[in-house]
Each structure stands twice: as C-alpha cells, then as structure tokens.
Amino acid sequence: MDRIQVTGMRFYGYHGVFAEETKLGQRFNVDLSIGLDLSSAGKTDDLRESVNYAELYNVTKQVVEGAPLQLVEALAERIAAHVLLLDSRILETTIKVIKPDPPIAGHYEHVAVEIHRKRADDQ
C-alpha cells in the first residue's frame, strides 16, 4: 500500500488530566501517515488523484487546537477519525501524538502514543 506522511507537525493545545494542563496548555507534536493507492496520481501528475497534504495538516490542527481532552490516547483517536473521514480513498492511518513536556518528574525526551486505524466497511 502506498503512503503519504506528514511528520513533525507542531501545535499548542489544552489536553491533559491535570488542571494546569487544560488552563495553561502545552505543545503537541503529531506524525501522520495515510495508506491509499497513489498509482493514478503518480501516472497523471494530478493533485485531484491524491490527498492534499495541506488538508491533512489542517484537519490535524483543528483537532489538536480544538476541544480539550484528558488523554493523549483520545486525542490520537479523534485525529484518526477525522483523517479517515477526510477522503474516502484513505484506507488507513497511523497517528503518533507526542507530548514533549508532560508534567512527569524525571529526565526523558517525550511521551507518545501511536495508533493505527483502518477504514470501516460502512464509511
């Protein structure tokens, strides 16, 4: 299966379990990958035969900068659902949400959740 990837997207959101996270907000980074057939786009050189990368970015931005959620897992799930609804040619998506500065004592680079979702037959 062919893939389009948009990695290293950076947003500011108000997601978290603790009050200071939903009040002050924090950075979230997102990596996104979609699976679809890109053969027609490759042969025709026509954007209409592919999925616009800007639309993938914008739908991700709307979710991350939108309504607060407690869990990064829920944020990843919501992004995946919106991505799959974006275009019927998207058969699957992998979403990685990275929380660089969670309120956890200790030394680490970041915490992250990665999920993989496929299009349901009824979509």
Residue positions annotated with a catalytic role: 99
Distance CA 64, CA 91 (A): 22
Distance CA 13, CA 68 (A): 7
The vertex-87 CA angle with 86 and 90, nearest 5°, equals 110
Distances in Å between the Cα of 82 and the Cα atoms of 11, 32, 36, 63 are 17, 12, 16, 8
Contact 115, 40 (CB under 8 A): no
Q: CA 119, 36, 82, 123 torsion: positive or negative?
A: negative
